[in-house]
Structure 1
């Protein structure tokens, strides 16, 4: 069963840190989506449990401002339509949201980002 992580930060603008995220995704064979630029910064990774947990630890070491691990869990519904080790970067929440809707991960994402059910 795939494992998924969702991380939110203040913003993601450092190309050096983004390159470290890409390198870690390749090293741990995780499919990763990132939303860069103006706040918020968002990262989602999917892969095996060990791979995702190791990827999350490598991201945590980057010391992003307002780093929050929103979710880390096994998932059964929806799959990222990427190959393991690949990273897709988005410049806006709108573009990320549209991509996630196509992958049938949008409901999971909106719930754990706090957008669903009145922003709980």
Structure 2
């Protein structure tokens, strides 16, 4: 299961904070693309791929534990909770105008038993691309144009445009027309 988050802030220039984002990304095992620099907006696109085996293992663990011996309630670790923890940790860095624009499950090719879901239905799902990189990797870009080119290469551009700017290309609404070349 693939979870993806989109964060927008005013700008990102602090190398110390960017270094902290790198260490948080390694800690949580995400892949992150960042548009940094003085010119607004700053953008973070993060993904956490969480396999169905991991999800099933966590749910079984939760069934066995139910409540802890100390009466403390336990929560299952899922791809979504890991990505939410990463977002929470990045938010603590106190970036100006921090906005979580989207956090969602973008690809669920298997159910919890590991069986493939209906292939025809999956063919209709848009934005099944993945950010390129290894777990814990951060790629930094100086302009929105560079970020958009990288997102297009890995098949995530339409998802990003839809949630960042409200642009729908495949027969849907077009709230705004955005020329990425003008945004450098």
TM-score (norm 1): 0.96
Give a deviation string over 1:40-78, Cα, whole Å, max 9, x none: 100011002222111101111011101000000001211
**Poorly superposed stretches of 4+, deviation over 4 Å:** none
Match status 1:3 vs 2:3? yes
Structure 1 alignment gaps of length 5 or more: none
1:1-120 aligned within 5 A: 1-37=1-37, 38-47=39-48, 48-76=79-107, 77-116=128-167, 117-119=174-176
RMSD of aligned residue pairs (Cα, Å): 1.2
Question: Highest Rg: 1 or 2?
Answer: 2
Structure 2 alignment gaps of length 5 or more: 49-78, 108-127, 168-173, 178-184
Higher relative contact order (CA 8 A, sep 6+): 1
> Residue 115 and residue 98 in structure 1: after superposition, are their counterparts in 2 closer, same or farther (change >3 A)?
farther
Higher share of residues assigned strand: 1
Q: Distance in 2 between matches of 1:94 and 1:58?
A: 27
- Aligned residue pairs total 120
